[in-house]
Amino acid sequence: MSTEDNRSQLPPESANQLSTNEDISEQSAIVTTTYVRMGPLPALEELEAYDRVVPGSAERIIAMAEEQSKHRRAKEMIKAKAE
């Protein structure tokens, strides 16, 4: 079935839209994705990628975050006792 045959089966407004769209030879779009997260650890996908590049690095990164958390809590306790 040709394009003309297909057009004749469409409602007039759809056929007109099809004609308009056929005049556009190329369309492009720019898609931007913004990813924001907060926390001591990278996203799971990033952690897995680190571990693929440097085996064991995911565990080291998690341990580092745990140590930082312990350190921060200890400082907060000292500050709270001083107040």
- Distance CA(10)–CA(20), nearest Å, equals 14
**Segments of the chain scoring below 50 in pLDDT:** none
Confidence (pLDDT) at 21: 53
Q: pTM surpassing 0.85?
A: no
pLDDT tens profile 41-62? 999 999 999 999 999 999 999 9
Q: Provide the token pair at 48.
A: 């897995």
Q: Provide the token pair at 79.
A: 């500050």
DSSP state of 55: T
